[in-house]
Amino acid sequence: MKKLLSVVTLLLAMGIATVVWAIIEGTPHDVAVMRNLGAGAEIERCAMCHTPHAGSGQYPLWNRSQTDQTYAMYSSPTFNMAIAAGDTIGSSNYATYNCMVCHNGIASTLVNYPGSQSTANTNYDFSSALLRSVSNLGLSMQNDHPVGFTYNPTVDDENNGFRAAENYGSSGKAIFGARGTYPLYTETGNTGPYNQFECATCHSVHDTVDYAGKSMQNGVSVGTVYFLRGDNTSSGMCIDCHVNR
Ligand code: HEC
Ligand code: HEC
Ligand code: HEC
Ligand code: HEC
């Protein structure tokens, strides 16, 4: 016992006793939490977004569908990595499209419901009622941080001090900041170049990054926002990229 305790103390001292899980369960992205089904609910949490077979065909084994929507993209006189006129959010911007299929506030359903032969189950159907106000981004992206553009730090006229993207994983690219690692995505789903800036550049849709302040009460998150790529206390995430601001 004494030996075990000293091992635990050592781990704590080294700061590696903080376990980080790639979890959905118990977070705002857990369908049981969205539906307030209570602890121990028999529901397939991953199926809300993924299916092992017969999904939409989009990366990563995507399982939600919605009729195509038209978005007003971000623009400004000083936005240099500007989104081309007429560009849209489509399945090629999967790490944004896969968020907006719920966060635009419009109903969406599963392609393949869990169970034999896709048995419909309304628990997995999505409606705006499951979103609190600020989480409903709507169809205008003009009041949101720009997404869906090619990251190119060399075209920044205002000297924000953006960092160059570096190698990440086996073949990806990411921006490495002090508070977090911000992956870039590809328009093809499976092959590079990995240069697209999307929602998932700043957010991890599974709760994979640990920082203080995240908690749930009565089925909703209170305190610090979940799913960030890093701790944004003192705007640390913003400064990771906008180094000179
Ligand atoms: C709310 C929607 C949602 C739920 C629920 C969800 N995922 Fe994901 N998942 C995504 C999105 C969006 C991506 C792509 C963006 C990214 O890679 O961060 C992704 C990517 C992945 C990937 C590929 C990239 C990686 O991180 O390895 C795997 C594997 C994965 N999910 C597994 C799971 C499993 C297992 C579950 C259930 C425990 C789950 N997901 C639940 C939305 C979801
Ligand atoms: C299956 C639908 C669904 C998908 C797909 C989805 N979300 Fe969510 N998300 C929700 C719901 C429901 C909530 C809880 C909303 C609330 O509390 O207002 C939520 C909450 C959040 C929150 C706030 C958490 C908090 O602490 O209040 C963030 C951030 C977020 N989502 C980002 C994303 C991003 C980024 C993606 C894509 C990579 C994504 N979501 C994909 C349904 C979804
Ligand atoms: C440049 C980084 C960045 C990008 C890109 C980004 N977000 Fe966020 N998002 C944040 C930060 C930081 C917060 C926390 C803000 C706060 O604490 O009030 C946040 C908060 C949220 C919330 C919770 C809102 C609230 O106040 O409860 C949702 C939902 C969300 N983001 C969804 C998305 C979606 C969907 C996309 C893509 C369309 C996206 N975000 C793109 C940085 C980003
Ligand atoms: C992962 C890197 C990254 C993070 C994190 C990030 N940004 Fe950005 N931000 C960018 C890039 C790249 C642009 C596009 C700049 C350009 O092309 O002029 C941008 C654009 C902007 C713009 C619009 C600039 C314009 O000229 O219209 C504002 C404002 C902004 N970010 C503020 C923030 C804030 C506030 C945060 C923290 C909540 C934040 N950013 C987090 C990379 C990031």
| Residue 188: predicted pLDDT | 83
CA distance 60 to 44: 17
pLDDT band at 39 (very low <50, low <70, confident <90, very high): confident
Q: CA-based angle 60:62:67, to the nearest 5?
A: 135
Instruction: Flag whether 13 is in a domain.
Output: no
Give the residues surrounding ligand 4 with Cβ less than 6 Å away.
76, 78-81, 145-146, 151, 156, 162, 175, 182, 197, 201-202, 235, 237-238, 240-242
Instruction: Flag whether 2 is in a domain.
Output: no
| Residue 113: predicted pLDDT | 98
The residue ranking higher by pLDDT, 139 or 17, is: 139
If you take atom 38 of ligand 3, which residue's CA is the nearest one?
199
Domain count within the chain: 1
For residue range 174-229, list pLDDT tens digits in order.
999 999 999 999 988 788 999 999 999 999 999 999 999 999 998 889 999 999 99
pLDDT band at 1 (very low <50, low <70, confident <90, very high): very low
Instruction: Flag whether 124 is in a domain.
Output: yes
Instruction: Give the mean model confidence (pLDDT) for residues 37-56.
Output: 93
Query: Closest Cα partner for 149 from 96, 188, 110?
Result: 96
CA distance 197 to 209: 19
For residue range 111-124, list pLDDT tens digits in order.
999 999 999 999 99
Instruction: Flag whether 226 is in a domain.
Output: yes
Instruction: Give the mean model confidence (pLDDT) for residues 83-92.
Output: 86
| Residue 18: predicted pLDDT | 40
Instruction: Give the mean model confidence (pLDDT) for residues 140-161.
Output: 96
CA distance 148 to 88: 8
| Residue 22: predicted pLDDT | 54
Instruction: Flag whether 120 is in a domain.
Output: yes
CA of 12 to the centre of ligand 4 (A): 36
Instruction: Flag whether 23 is in a domain.
Output: no
Mean pLDDT is lowest, of 66-75, 78-87, 131-140, 151-160, for 78-87
Query: Closest Cα partner for 219 from 131, 152, 155, 149?
Result: 131
Instruction: Flag whether 96 is in a domain.
Output: yes
- Quickly list H helices, 16-63: 31-34
32 and 43 Cβ atoms separated by less than 8 Å: yes
Instruction: Give the mean model confidence (pLDDT) for residues 11-36.
Output: 69
Say if residue 130's pLDDT is above 90.
Answer: yes
| Residue 127: predicted pLDDT | 96
Percent of the chain with pLDDT over 70: 91
Instruction: Flag whether 101 is in a domain.
Output: yes
Say if residue 236's pLDDT is above 50.
Answer: yes
Mean pLDDT of the chain: 90
Say if residue 9's pLDDT is above 90.
Answer: no
The residue ranking higher by pLDDT, 40 or 210, is: 210
Q: Is 205 in the pocket of ligand 1 (CB under 6 A)?
A: yes
> What range defines the domain where residue 62 resides?
28-241
Closest ligand to residue 128's CA: 2
H-run or E-run covering 240: helix 236-241
Mean pLDDT is lowest, of 11-25, 56-70, 97-111, for 11-25
